[in-house]
Structures are given as structure tokens and as C-alpha cells.
């Protein structure tokens, strides 16, 4: 194993070292590509992810939308939520409830989430520096297979 220097990009996640020693992780590039894919790069920003009463409104029957496209949007939002955007988690979980039979109302809610993402592309996770420590990570694909530590 060798030291490759400071990590700046991995799995579509940008990692930046700040002047105060903290590290930030965001998915700006992925968010941009998602917005381009859904034709929403010019979308207006909304300040909230989910409208008040959205769950009740989403239960009302409506015309079906393209289920594949809806699932793509939900998957993209979920990827950001699980990697660097915990603020998207509630909306992602709410939208995921309807992937088996999405309607235009559900698609509208997914688009609202994309509008929110448009204005918050640089949001992410910040790890604050507390002293001279450094982040070190190791990975072993068969970690659970170690019989000495997993007996």
C-alpha cells in the first residue's frame, strides 16, 4: 500500500481540504449531471424539499407517469442522500414509497427535490479538524472473513 497524497475525488464525491484543516465532501458534479439528464439545469431553486402536506397529496389518485424515469430520479436523489446529502434523506424515502406505481403528482414531488438540489449543489458533509490528526482509511474486501477476529 502506498500513500497517494491528498484525496480529491472518489466515487463521484469531491473532497476538499479547507484552510482550517477541515475536509468537505460534496457531489456537485453528480448533481449537475443529474439536473442535465432530467433537463432541469435551468430550474429555479426552491427553499424546501417537500411541500407541507405532500404525503397526503401524493396519496390522491392521478394519471400515471413514466415509472422508469421516476425511478431514475428517485435513485439519483437517494444516491446523494446516502453519500453526502443527509438533508435529502426524508424526501428520498418519501419518493421511494411510490416507485411501483408513480403518478404525475409523484413526478412533481421528485422535480421539486431536483429544484432544491439545483440551489444547494455545494452542500455536503464537513469534517472539522480537531488537533493535528489526519484521516486515514483502509479497506479490505474480506474483512469479515478474518477468523481470528470474527470467531
How many residues comprise the chain? 151
Residue 1 lies in a domain: no
Residue 72 lies in a domain: yes
Q: Taking 80 as the threshold, does the pLDDT of residue 129 lie above it?
A: no
Task: Give SS3 for 76.
Answer: helix
* Mean pLDDT, rounded, for 70-87: 96
Residue 124 lies in a domain: yes
Contacts 24+ apart (CB under 8 A), 57-61: 57/105, 58/94, 58/98, 58/103, 58/105, 58/106, 58/109, 60/105, 61/103
Q: Which domain holds residue 40?
A: 9-145
Residue 69 lies in a domain: yes
Torsion angle, CA of 55/59/64/67, rounded to 10 degrees? 50
pLDDT-above-90 percentage for the chain: 58
pLDDT in tens, 56-72: 777 777 898 999 999 99
Side by side, which strands form the sheet with 13-17? Answer: 9-10, 13-17, 23-26, 124-127
Q: What is the pTM of this model?
A: 0.78
Residue 54 lies in a domain: yes
How many domains, the chain?
1
Residue 3 lies in a domain: no
Asked if 122 and 26 touch (Cβ cutoff 8 Å), the reply is yes
- SS3 per residue for 83-122: HCCHHHHHHHHHHHCCCCCCEHHHHHHHHHHHHHHHHCCC
Residue 150 lies in a domain: no
Q: Is residue 80 within a helix (H) or strand (E), and if so which, with residue range?
A: helix 67-83
Cα–Cα distance, 135 to 42 (Å, whole number): 37
Residue 120 lies in a domain: yes
Amino acid at each position: 500500500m502506498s500513500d497517494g497524497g491528498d484525496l480529491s475525488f472518489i466515487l463521484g464525491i469531491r473532497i476538499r481540504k479547507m484552510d482550517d484543516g477541515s475536509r468537505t465532501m460534496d457531489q456537485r458534479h453528480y448533481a449537475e449531471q443529474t439536473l442535465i439528464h432530467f433537463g432541469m439545469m435551468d430550474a429555479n431553486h426552491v427553499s424546501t424539499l417537500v411541500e407541507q402536506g405532500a404525503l397526503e397529496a401524493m396519496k390522491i389518485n392521478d394519471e400515471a407517469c413514466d415509472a422508469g424515469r421516476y425511478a431514475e430520479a428517485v435513485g439519483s436523489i437517494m444516491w446523494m442522500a446516502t453519500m453526502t446529502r443527509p438533508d435529502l434523506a426524508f424526501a428520498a424515502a418519501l419518493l421511494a414509497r411510490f416507485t411501483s406505481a408513480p403518478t404525475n403528482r409523484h413526478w412533481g414531488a421528485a422535480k421539486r427535490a431536483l429544484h432544491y438540489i439545483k440551489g444547494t449543489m455545494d452542500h455536503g458533509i464537513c469534517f472539522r479538524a480537531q488537533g493535528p490528526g489526519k484521516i486515514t482509511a483502509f479497506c479490505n474486501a474480506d474483512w469479515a472473513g478474518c477468523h481470528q477476529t470474527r470467531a
